[in-house]
Amino acid sequence: MATSASTASLRVGLAQINPRVGDLNFNLAKVEEFVAKAEQAGCDVVAFPELTLSGYPPEDLVLKPGFVADIRVALEKVAARSGRCAVVVGFVDNVDDGTVEPSSARPPRLFNAAALCANGVVAGVYHKQLLPNYAVFDEARYFAAGHDDVTLYDVGGVVLSLSVCEDLWVAEGPVARQRAAGSQLCLNINGSPFDRGKSGVREATVVERARETAMPIVYVNQVCGQDELVFDGGSVVVDSTGNVVARAAHFEEELLIADVRVPTRAPSVRAIPVSSAGSQRAAVPSRVAVIDDPRDRVLGALALGTRDYVTKNGFTDVVLGLSGGIDSALVAAVAVEALGAAHVHGVSMPSRYSSTGSRTDAADLARNLGIDLLTIPIEPAFASYLAMTTDAFSGLATDLTEENLQSRVRGTTLMALSNKFGWMVLTTGNKSELAVGYFTLYGDSVGGFAVIKDIFKTDVYALSHRVNERAGRELIPRSTLDKAPSAELRPDQRDDQSLPPYDVLDAVLALYVEQDRTAAEIIAFGFEESLVRRIVGLVDNSEYKRRQLPPGVRVTSKAFGKDRRLPITNAYRG
């Protein structure tokens, strides 16, 4: 509605929702729920994230013609439900332009698309032009790039343009061209995953585009866990000068409402009429959610990723081994945050080498978190394995074989509990250990979800301290935080007997794993050559082990799994 002779205002709803990949009925119901909220709030337009109807990323589901056809049916239902409040929703568009022969094995072209619906119809469709094909993104596998679309729409007397995610990241890209054509407001829908260094960059990019184009930008992102990815929300509205005027919370569903002011439309601008302005209404107060402590952001990602992976895959409860160590303590704390204490089950599985302190630390942790604790000693099974293999191992010294047997007994025990009670097993290995292969295949690596697989050991300590700070008390016992890390698979064992100190190890791993530096480059930075060669060798020789790990939460820009994909058989030693 007009607010003065020189400005107009559009009430926009940013529907920061948690969709489910492949669950079209759920996603459709979620859209309808938030459209109703937007209408009640007097919105002129409500925008949903990228590929909302299919869930993002749908991956090879889009190669199923029936799935794509069902998405179109869902879109028509959204359109039929729309009224004066326009609805922008992401979907997979199937365009058969006649270039594909009926007998061809190649499917019709698919597009990552945004539909603008109003008054019962689809008023317009925009196809994403810039397709990311790096890191965790491989959109070129599925989608064709949209053409140079500068179609403009008149919604409530304001001329707006549509774009999708990556279209916003290039300075002279689609958004700039739409502005040059007369757009007064950019509406950009996203599926932008979290990593600990990205959120500030993401918002800074939106601010930069707004300043460059002198145009307000509405940026809506989803909030969910999807396999290894976490989407943290943080939807934002930036005005034409680059000021953030509204920001949604991170890691929470929310309908963010903002009144966006734009200069009065120039008469020469052509735009497709979509809907008229709403009735007179009082302005809504701006909500600008606070950016959290960086450690809270990571903890939030771990909790959301764990919650959605567990519940969306049909589980209610989880189980994990509690060794009295820092890794299992942090995983247990995250699981309680994600699912509630009643749904988290700890298991103490002492062996002949388990210290009294480790047992009491596990018990104290369980009591502090309010979770139940089972105690299942593994000595009977371990002794039986030793007896079983006495003849086969005759004359051979005790070594890693016997150490790993203990870990494998524990893994089998956890899986038995999973089978009996329907609990998902959470593994507790951190990124430092997984990088260098300091874990046992079919032992401590066994399970359904690896909560901290992308967290270096030094960060495990930082996050654990933050858990206690937020609680205002010791959820994770001080003795767990202070003692030397140990697998306790042999007498007086400590991690630093097998690995370099974690602060040194993590510094090298950050360069080699996350920054793709070669060994020679890392040595040139001043690290001892023998140390670097040893660490790099451990990382390279453990690739086959990491391929067999369960998925886990991605919080960095280079996680094992979807990000870092190196050949197992590989002779390069740079």
> Which class is domain 8-95+107-275?
alpha beta
Catalytic residue among 43, 85, 165, 186: 165
Alpha helices (H) along 126-251: 174-180, 199-213
In the predicted structure, residue 562 carries a pLDDT above the cut 90:
no
The domain made up of 295-495 is a member of CATH 3.40.50.620: yes
Entry pTM:
0.91
First-residue to last-residue Cα distance in the chain: 63
Which of 468, 43, 452 is closest to 277 using CA atoms?
Answer: 43
128 belongs to the catalytic site = yes
Which amino acid type is present at position 258?
A: A
Catalytic residue among 30, 85, 117, 128: 128
Task: Give the residue extent of every domain in the chain.
Answer: 8-95+107-275, 295-495
Coil/strand/helix, residue 471? helix
- pLDDT on residue 103: 44
151-186 pLDDT, tens digit each: 999 998 899 999 999 999 999 899 999 999 999 999
Question: What is the distance between the alpha carbons of residues 26 and 47, in angstroms, rounded to a whole number?
Answer: 17
Confidence of residue 492 (pLDDT cuts 50, 70, 90): low
Which amino acid type is present at position 237?
A: V
Confidence of residue 2 (pLDDT cuts 50, 70, 90): very low
C-alpha distances (whole Å) from 337 to each of 305, 331, 344, 372 are 11, 10, 10, 15
Catalytic residue among 43, 50, 337, 431: 50
- pLDDT on residue 275: 78
252 belongs to the catalytic site = no
Confidence of residue 305 (pLDDT cuts 50, 70, 90): very high
558 belongs to the catalytic site = no
- pLDDT on residue 280: 67
DSSP 189: E
The encoded tokens of residue 120 equal 């019962």
